[in-house]
Chains A and B, each alone.
Chain A
């Protein structure tokens, strides 16, 4: 097997609550490979959000080793983490988290601005990303002029626009009706088929079903790690 894209070893995350130490993560080992379709499940308080934050470089582990494409993330400073988030990770949130005053296009453009990419190129890439999620005709709309499903598509376009190594989606269908949710999941399936690495965090079993591999977390530890052996024939 090839070198994993993401490798977590003995990852712990400890919070000081007064004199007590609370282990949100109590030693997690995971390897995630390129073009995997992974879901992380677990009840609230299990530590799955903490795990997602650490994978997403929004948080740093208290102990353990985290390697991202061979680079050790656990030693990185704030600016390096920001750069990883910008270049390597695309976030999709439950509540979309679009900036309400900006058009769809400007929202998608934002990560490219932080990546210091020139205006012309930004426009091309942002338009392309919006077309990919089926919103090529909605680029000038602001979030409040779009439906929930469309907003989440804009958020996915924003996640895609920098060509990240992984797309990290936290309950992406949690705020959507079942029809829109189904469409969004179909979009993720397509993105995976196109070669993207996708990590879904969810507590809904039928959402996790879409993934090829499902990890369940309980009390800060990995409980189960099951990979489906269904060969997807794309012939």
Chain B
């Protein structure tokens, strides 16, 4: 049986090489199909990884109390007219909640940071309290974070992000050096560990974190404050309910009134991300299925032609003792061989593509299981598209086949 299989493989090889252009054109559908399924898979797995990495800065166990929901279709004007989130809420929430373990505010604006001649614009100035260390996943790589005393007295100290540290301090440690934030001079007390880019899009390392007291005194009394409440992750939904209740009481809302604030969590991003993933996956799947079906029909067609062209050969093979199954096997192997060849070509292109994505877009690599699946898919297309022509060949009457001109 192995001899026959090898023989059939050689026949298939011969048939494919005898009609190189035809084989190439026929496999195009399979190539595109496999290319799209593997590229889609690589893309999604790369996105997953970078999403996970990016999301870690938010923390799964933190609720973000803010004027507006992160992803919503609410009327902007309505949101604009909501009352501001006040710093006073922090103590009350902490007192009344049994789930909140730490809470910190963040206030944000864009600003230029400079040192001597060097200046970088568009940095994120963040005002917060010492508890920020607990409510965020920020790790200090050098120096220390803000203290209670510094916050209360409004000291001009700053913890800078990795980007700022690297661009303003080339060869020396930034600790105890000075930078200018806007027009004010600040002493650097710490550097935040490198966090990378969010989804490969914008940097998380351009923050300049200063005490909230300082922020109010020098930059803004008003502005949008967000409260970050760290809770027990196991009770996050209960905590959300509880804080909603506390906020409504603080705001004095009547039962029929809608919330005039929003409590966000990382899950909001996940929902948003899953929607994007679904869109990519759906589109990829659509293209894949479409091109595999078209490719499969093409191969079926070419196999019918091949059977027709080789009718006499089939007759001869039957006359010298080939059974139906042997003829069936011969043509089925040929169809599968063409499909696998197309699959392999698609896979190679996708591999090159994934290397390019890895180099220029975001870190990604084609998972092995995807390569296995795509080859399995090629095999399946080969079997499905080869079965009908092979049956036709196998069922040919040897006498008529021998007489065929």
Contacts and interface: CB of A to CB of B under 8 A. Distances in A.
Interface in B315-336: 315-326
A127 interface: no
Contact of B320 (A79, A101, A119, A158): A158
A91 interface: yes
Contacts of A114: 4, 317, 320-323, 326
A87 B312 contact: no
A93 B321 contact: no
* Best-buried of B14, B18, B321, B325 by chain A (most CB within 10 Å): B321
Contact of B3 (A53, A98, A116): A116
B313 interface: yes
Contacts of B319: 56, 58, 85, 91, 97
B289 interface: no
B182 interface: no
A86 B320 contact: yes
A91 B3 contact: no
A55 B44 CA distance: 65
Contacts of B325: 79
Interface string B1-35: 10110010000001000100000000000000000
Given A113-B3, A113-B7, A119-B3, A58 B399 contact: yes
A110 B323 contact: no
A118 interface: yes
Contacts of B324: 78-79, 82
Nearest to B324: A78
A55 B138 CA distance: 90
Nearest to B318: A82
A116 B321 contact: no
A156 B399 CA distance: 19
Nearest to B322: A114
Q: Categorize the interface residue count of chain A.
A: 20 to 34
B4 A99 contact: no
Given A53-B399, A59-B399, A82 B316 contact: no
Interface residues of B, number: 23
B15 to A, nearest CB: 9
A116 B1 contact: yes
Contacts of A117: 3
Interface string A145-178: 0000000000000100010000000000000000
A75 interface: no
Contacts of A115: 321
Interface string A51-73: 00100101100000000000000
A99 B310 CA distance: 10
Nearest to B323: A82
B59 interface: no
Given A58-B398, A59-B399, A82-B322, A113 B316 contact: no
A79 B326 CA distance: 10
Contact of A79 (B3, B323, B398): B323
A86 B389 CA distance: 24
Contacts of A93: 402
Nearest to A53: B399
A82 B319 CA distance: 8
Contacts of B399: 53, 58-59
Contacts of B312: 97
Given A59-B399, A82-B323, A116-B1, A110 B317 contact: yes
Contacts of A85: 318-321
B147 to A, nearest CB: 84
Contacts of B317: 110, 114
Contacts of A144: none
Interface string A112-129: 011111110010000000
B402 A116 contact: no
Contacts of B315: 97
A98 B319 CA distance: 12
Nearest to B394: A78
Nearest to B15: A101
A26 to B, nearest CB: 19
A83 interface: yes
B4 A116 contact: yes
Interface in B260-317: 312-313, 315-317
A57 B42 CA distance: 57
A98 B315 CA distance: 11
A97 B312 CA distance: 8
A99 B322 contact: no
Contacts of B322: 82, 86, 114
A42 interface: no
Contacts of A158: 320
A47 interface: no
B392 to A, nearest CB: 15
17 contacts: A53-B399, A58-B318, A58-B402, A59-B399, A78-B323, A79-B324, A82-B323, A85-B318, A85-B319, A85-B321, A97-B319, A101-B14, A101-B18, A114-B317, A115-B321, A116-B4, A118-B3
Interface of B: 1, 3-4, 7, 14, 18, 312-313, 315-326, 398-399, 402
Q: Which 6 A-B pairs have the closest CB atoms?
A: A86-B321, A82-B323, A114-B321, A111-B320, A97-B316, A58-B398
